[in-house]
Amino acid sequence: MSSFPRSRNIYKQVPNIISLSRVIFGALLINSLLHKDLRLFWLSLFLTFVSDALDGFLARRLNAVSDIGKILDHVIDKGLILSASFVLSLLYDLPRWVFFLLLIREILTIVVALYFRVKRGSFPSSNPIGKLFGLFSTLVLITFFYDLEVKFIILYIAVIFMFVSSLANLISLRV
């Protein structure tokens, strides 16, 4: 009778499973935007944040940081940001150029990451300025959801952090 081989590293998959759960939370977040559901918005936003923080923390803690985990985390984050910005541009006041700017940035980021994977054998890590961009992206989401007067100020700050983060990534890749 054959059995599946036991892996001593089963716990090292937990961060990737948590990353994948963010797809569900992100879908709930998009649904809350589409239906302007306040409770679902905050619940899904909270679960998205917790899963995003927890997957990275556990990956480092369990010594389970991997290229597949980095890819999974970034692709899910980028998909969520692009999906949310698309919905915000359709149903809220977010200018469409923001969505297209993000789309171009993410395509370029993927191309550069793949290039460095082939050339150097590893994917580039994110930078702290990128975390600030993520924070301001979330603030953009909240301010547009609530139609707050400061929404365009927050948007322009987020766009500045996006450009600075992209520039910082390019500079770090040259080293």
Do the domain assignments include residue 120?
A: yes
Do the domain assignments include residue 96?
A: yes
The predicted structure's pLDDT at residue 124: 65
Other CB atoms within 10 A of residue 96 CB = 12
Show contacts of 84-88: CB within 8 Å, 24+ apart.
Answer: 84/29, 84/30, 84/33, 84/141, 87/30, 87/33, 87/34, 88/33, 88/140, 88/141, 88/144, 88/145
The predicted structure's pLDDT at residue 5: 44
Q: Please give the single-letter amino acid code of residue 107.
A: I
The predicted structure's pLDDT at residue 8: 60
Do the domain assignments include residue 1?
A: no
Do the domain assignments include residue 90?
A: yes
Do the domain assignments include residue 85?
A: yes
Q: What is the pTM of this model?
A: 0.84
The predicted structure's pLDDT at residue 2: 47
Per-residue pLDDT for the chain (175 aa), expressed as one digit of tens each?
Answer: 444 444 566 777 899 999 999 999 999 999 999 999 999 999 999 999 999 999 989 988 988 888 788 888 888 988 999 999 999 999 999 999 999 999 999 898 888 777 777 777 766 667 788 889 989 999 999 999 999 999 999 999 999 999 998 888 777 766 5
Nearby residues of 94 by Cβ (< 8 Å), 6 or more positions away: 85, 88, 140, 144, 155
- Residue reference for tokens 């809220």: 92
In terms of residue numbers, what domain contains 90? 11-174
Do the domain assignments include residue 4?
A: no
Which CATH number do you get for residue 90? Answer: 1.20.120.1760
Domain count, the chain: 1
The predicted structure's pLDDT at residue 172: 73
Do the domain assignments include residue 6?
A: no
Nearby residues of 28 by Cβ (< 8 Å), 6 or more positions away: 40, 43, 44, 47
For residue 25, the number of C-alpha atoms closer than 13 Å in the C-beta half-sphere is: 20
For residue 21, which of 41, 48, 43 has the smallest C-alpha distance? 48
For residue 94, the number of C-alpha atoms closer than 13 Å in the C-beta half-sphere is: 33
